[in-house]
Copies of this chain bind each other. A is one copy, B any other.
Amino acid sequence: MQRYKIAIDTKGSDKGARTIIKGASIALSQNEDLELLLVGDKDEIENEARELNMPLDRLEILDAKDVITNYDSPSFAIFEKQDSSLVKALEATSVRDDIKGLLCAGSTGALMAGSMRYLSGKNRVRPSLAAVLPSENGELTCLLDTGATIDCGASTLLHFAKIGTAFMKRMYGIESPRVGLLSNGAERTKGNKIVKEAHELLEAEKELNFIGNVEGSNALSGICDVLVCDGFAGNQVLKVTEGTATRIIKDIVRYAKRTGSKEIMELVGHLMSVYDISSLGGGIVLGIEKPVIKAHGCCDEKAIVNTTKMLLNMAKNIAVYDKRNNKI
Contact = CB atoms under 8 A, between A and B. Distances in A.
A217 B192 contact: no
Interface stretch (A19-27, A154-162, A233-241, A309-317): A233-241
Contacts of A193: 151
A231 interface: yes
A242 B217 contact: yes
Contacts of A275: 248
A65 interface: no
Interface string A160-200: 00000000000000000000001111000001110100000
Contact of A243 (B221, B247, B255): B221
Nearest to A238: B216
A219 B241 CA distance: 11
A150 interface: yes
A246 interface: yes
Interface string A35-46: 000000000000
A28 interface: no
7 contacts: A136-B250, A192-B232, A215-B235, A215-B239, A217-B243, A219-B240, A255-B270
